[in-house]
Chain A
Amino acid sequence: MKSSPTNWLARTPYYVLTGGLAIIFMSPLIWSAISSVSPQPGSAQVDGFGFGNYITLMNYQAGLPTYLGNSVVISVLTVIFTLVVTTLGGYAFARFTFPGKNLLFLLTLSILMVPYATLLIPLMVTLKAMHLQNSLVGVALVLAMFQLPFATFMMRISFEAVPKEIEESALVDGCGTFGALRRILLPAVKPGLITVGLFAFLAAWNDFMAPLYLVGSENQPLPLALVNMRQQVMGVIDYGSTQAGVVVLALPCVILFLILQRHYVAGFMSGALKG
């Protein structure tokens, strides 16, 4: 591994190969970012560089703020639902015995077996019966449900990793189980919470299929609005504003990923190990 000159020479093909691969992986993203501000025929940015495409996007139909707002509401609600349900559930599965415990855990995990795509049509009907059709809350509930297998599993493991003694001493001191959960256990399972929250956020932010089935035009999140924008102007597709939209969608994900990379990889590994 020492980098003597001969070693360097021998490793040059390796650097050329991996460097080339890295460029191939990055180039679509870079191309998209550049072409969103480049002059293009048929877009708002006909000559010179600038933000014309972003302005088009800003004013498209209900406007970028509305669609972005829908995306934020769906994502935040999904994260909240997932965290609340799986913190309580993970605590229950890790620390308590109750009738039906194993059955419930198995049912939760079996959500993994049932593909998303085959459940959306009945979910449409079920949400309508709950008077949640065409609502952002409905979409968030569905997205949170699909997060449950991984998130419950993750939170159960996190709680199990905390030594029982810590919590018992709190219980002896007159703390209820909820007090112990809030004061002692929550800080201890923080890494698990971050991983679960991050996964839920990225999944909800990026989801396209659930809103496609479940909401009408005024409640579209940004991915769905972008796809529809492209289709509505058949023939003259405004690629410029499509690219601007891709940048707006991708930027938060890439930044979040770079900041929380360590958690993402660690969380992913503990999730993957179960296989």
Chain B
Amino acid sequence: MSSSTLSPAPAGLKKRPGSKKRSWQGLLYATPTALFVTGLFVVPIIVVLIMSASDWSLLGGNKGTNFPKNYVDVLDHRMFWDAVLFTLKYTAIATILLIALGLGLALLVQESTRWKGLLRTTFLIPSALGLASASLLFYALYSPQVGPISAFFEKIGLTEGRVSVLGTPDGALWATVFLIVWRFAGFYMLLLLVGLQGIPGDVYEAARMDGASRLQVFGKITIPLLRPSLALSTIMCVTGSLLAFDQFYILTKGGPDGSTMTIVQLIYNLAFESKRDLGLAAALSVLTLLALILINMFQLRVLRGSDEK
């Protein structure tokens, strides 16, 4: 390293001679990253803050500051609290089901044999699909015209004739949850599998020698040692579900009667459909952003803090 340089570096400031030249080069290599981060991340954050405090319509553009009108209007919007509640409900259901099923699948395919390798691949294939394609697939699967599910419900006498599964609030919610579980279960299986494989085998052996039952091993050893992976999966699942959009946009568009309106769907509607008010949508974006940062910080503290003992 030292041989590649001639320029004297100020002693004490830099670690090794030549770092001045290398410093200049490092900056050069990091320039594209800096441009991306500034232009497409930092600037838009500033822009969204400004927009959220402005009277800014989709077609009319910026008509000046109106802080805090947008924030007041958002909190006052008739859909706002319904959307918050629905998003929380959906997040709770999706997270519980996905983590439970992901863990179950991970336990089923834990050891590596040919059959289990095949199973892993099968469970993972839906995760390679885009959420939009998966949603379109299920849209047809649920349809009264061609979908087998609607036909099945008719056959067992659950519905009178061919009725759209997405036609009732409960049907729409559970149909979406089913799609999400199908699409993401393999993904969480993989995450938890990494954790399971990180647990050393002799810990299990010791427990078995002490005569622990399968259930005891699971509850006293697997779950506590899996905690970091469970924490990561939960955070990812909660964050992802709170931001649900594609699946609802494609399957229900927030319907029937706004019963499946999520926060992000509401942002979209405020900006492009019902209000065409970008300022209002920006205000809701800022609120969502703040809420997510708070929720993530809280989750990190609760889930990680407790295993640092």
Q: A202-B128, A230-B136, A249-B129 are in contact. List 12 more A-B contacts (CB 8 A).
A: A25-B125, A97-B26, A98-B24, A117-B243, A121-B278, A126-B39, A130-B39, A206-B129, A206-B132, A226-B133, A240-B146, A256-B128
A141 proximal to B (CB < 8 A): yes
Query: Which residues on the B side are within 8 Å of A40 (C-beta)?
Result: 145-146
Q: Which stretch in B27-35, B90-98, B155-163, B201-209 binds the other chain?
A: B27-35
Query: Which residues on the A side are within 8 Å of B148 (C-beta)?
Result: 31
Query: Which residues on the B side are within 8 Å of A100 (C-beta)?
Result: 27, 34
CB distance from A90 to the nearest CB of B (A): 9
Q: Pick from A92, A168, A208, A224: contact of B30, CB below 8 A.
A: A92
Q: Pick from A91, A115, A126: contact of B243, CB below 8 A.
A: A115
Assembled-state Cα–Cα distance A268/B195 (Å):
13
A119 proximal to B (CB < 8 A): yes
CB distance from A38 to the nearest CB of B (A): 9
Residues of A within 8 A of B (CB): 1, 14-15, 17-18, 21-22, 25-26, 28-29, 31-32, 35, 40-42, 84-86, 88-89, 91-93, 95-101, 104, 107-108, 111, 113-119, 121-123, 125-126, 130, 141-142, 144-145, 148, 152, 164, 168, 171-172, 177, 202, 205-209, 212, 223-224, 226-227, 230, 237, 239-240, 242-243, 245-246, 249-250, 253-254, 256-258, 261, 265, 268-269, 272-273, 275
CB distance from B165 to the nearest CB of A (A): 14
Q: Pick from A104, A117, A249: contact of B33, CB below 8 A.
A: A104
Q: Judging by beta carbons under 8 Å apart, are B131 and A35 in contact?
A: no
Interface of A: prevailing SS: helix
Interface residues of B in 126-159 (CB under 8 A from A): 126, 128-133, 136-141, 143, 145-146, 148
Q: Judging by beta carbons under 8 Å apart, are B140 and A243 in contact?
A: yes
Q: Judging by beta carbons under 8 Å apart, are B243 and A206 in contact?
A: no
B122 proximal to A (CB < 8 A): yes
Residues of B within 8 A of A (CB): 1, 3-4, 14-15, 19, 22-34, 36-37, 39-45, 47-48, 51, 105, 108-109, 111, 113, 115, 118-119, 121-126, 128-133, 136-141, 143, 145-146, 148, 182, 185-186, 190-191, 194, 228-229, 231-232, 235, 239, 243, 245-246, 249-250, 264, 267, 271, 278, 281-282, 285-286, 288-289, 292-293, 296
Query: Which residues on the B side are within 8 Å of A107 (C-beta)?
Result: 37, 41-42
CB distance from B28 to the nearest CB of A (A): 8
Assembled-state Cα–Cα distance A257/B130 (Å):
12
> Given that A31-B141, A172-B4, A230-B139 are contacting pairs, would A246 and B125 also be in contact in the complex, using a CB cutoff of 8 Å?
no
Assembled-state Cα–Cα distance A133/B44 (Å):
14
Q: Judging by beta carbons under 8 Å apart, are B51 and A125 in contact?
A: yes
Assembled-state Cα–Cα distance A250/B126 (Å):
9
11 residue pairs A–B, Cβ–Cβ below 8 Å:
A40-B146, A89-B30, A95-B22, A116-B243, A119-B45, A122-B43, A208-B132, A227-B132, A254-B125, A272-B229, A275-B231
Query: Which residues on the A side are within 8 Å of B121 (C-beta)?
Result: 258, 261
Assembled-state Cα–Cα distance A144/B33 (Å):
11
Q: Pick from B4, B113, B296: contact of A113, CB below 8 A.
A: B296
Assembled-state Cα–Cα distance A225/B274 (Å):
22
CB distance from B86 to the nearest CB of A (A): 16
> Given that A116-B243, A152-B33 are contacting pairs, would A145 and B132 also be in contact in the complex, using a CB cutoff of 8 Å?
no
